[in-house]
Amino acid sequence: MRIDFLTVLPEMFESPLGCSILKRAADKGLVEYHVHNLRDFTTNRHRKVDDYPFGGEAGMVMQIEPVDRAISMLRAERDYDDVIFTSPDGEILSQPMANSMSLLTNIIILCGHYKGVDQRIREHLVTREISIGDYVLTGGELPAMVIADSIVRLIPGAIGDEQSALTDSFQDGLLAPPIYTRPADYNGWRVPDILLSGHQARIDAWRHEQSLERTRLLRPHLLDD
């Protein structure tokens, strides 16, 4: 997989892409990251990529020209499965979405900034808009990293124990059950006896019941879905 990030703050990607699963996946050759500074695609001599909005609204707007030039350059080199725009009013990122996107080959993630982007970018240049929640951030860089992390960790080989990813919250539409490790008794706080019983069928049934109960209490809409 190849992921191209279009951003006005390329330095924000250095640390997240350089550690943990994202880095290990790249080191294994499972994914390539390419971070492009949108200021490299502007014709403005001051390297500006924003301007005042028509109509007099407050704030600045990301211009269409540098975004179009960047996307056109990349598309001239290869085919892309998706051009994603990180938008507060896009479809909410979910585990099924991450699962399907992990099967793609090439994607572009455009990081929004300022007040927003010229609407023509959304209408003509992007293929999908994704939000990580109903709130507003300074820019789309953090959402872009969240999207990338949710995808890359699902690529076969990215995680040492691939079965671990399959038992994460939301993979089966439920929250994960409580988990414990040694010691079995700490300050009188004991691990549930069922987990120490050795009866795997009963343990699996207990875990499923716990998942259902936690989902009912914390994310009841998942059960409706």
Same domain, 121 and 191: no
Same domain, 38 and 137: yes
Within a domain: 175: yes
Within a domain: 160: no
Same domain, 101 and 171: no
Same domain, 138 and 178: no
pLDDT of amino acid 172? 79
pLDDT of amino acid 171? 76
Name, in order, each residue with C-beta under 8 angstroms of 169's C-beta and a sequence gap of 6 or more.
95, 175, 176
Within a domain: 58: yes
CATH code of the domain covering residue 194: 1.10.1270.20
The C-alpha atoms of residue 134 and residue 119 are separated, in whole angstroms, by 20
Same domain, 171 and 121: no
Provide the terminal-to-terminal Cα distance of the chain, rounded to the nearest Å.
Answer: 31
- Domain containing 174 equals 167-224
Kindly list the distances between the CA atom of residue 159 and the CA atoms of 26, 140, 154, 166, in Å, as whole numbers in the listed order: 12, 26, 8, 11
Q: How does pLDDT run across 86-139, given as a tens digit for each residue?
A: 999 999 999 999 999 999 999 999 999 888 899 999 999 999 999 999 998 999
pLDDT of amino acid 10? 98
Within a domain: 158: no
Q: How does pLDDT run across 132-159, given as a tens digit for each residue?
A: 999 989 999 999 999 999 999 999 999 8
Same domain, 207 and 96: no
The C-alpha atoms of residue 120 and residue 136 are separated, in whole angstroms, by 21
Within a domain: 101: yes
- Quickly state the pLDDT bin for 197 (edges 50, 70, 90): very high
Model confidence at 170: pLDDT above 80 = no
Same domain, 46 and 147: yes
Within a domain: 187: yes
Same domain, 70 and 93: yes
CATH code of the domain covering residue 134: 3.40.1280.10
10 Å Cβ neighbour count for 169?
A: 17
- Quickly state the pLDDT bin for 77 (edges 50, 70, 90): very high
Same domain, 112 and 219: no
The C-alpha atoms of residue 141 and residue 121 are separated, in whole angstroms, by 17
Which of 152, 186, 214 is where one domain is finished? 152
Q: How does pLDDT run across 5-58, given as a tens digit for each residue?
A: 999 999 999 999 999 999 999 999 999 999 999 999 999 999 999 999 999 888
How many domains in the chain? 2
The C-alpha atoms of residue 133 and residue 130 are separated, in whole angstroms, by 9
Within a domain: 56: yes
pTM of the model: 0.89
Which of 126, 152, 178 is where one domain is finished? 152
Planar angle of CA 51, 57, 62, nearest 5 degrees: 30
Same domain, 134 and 203: no
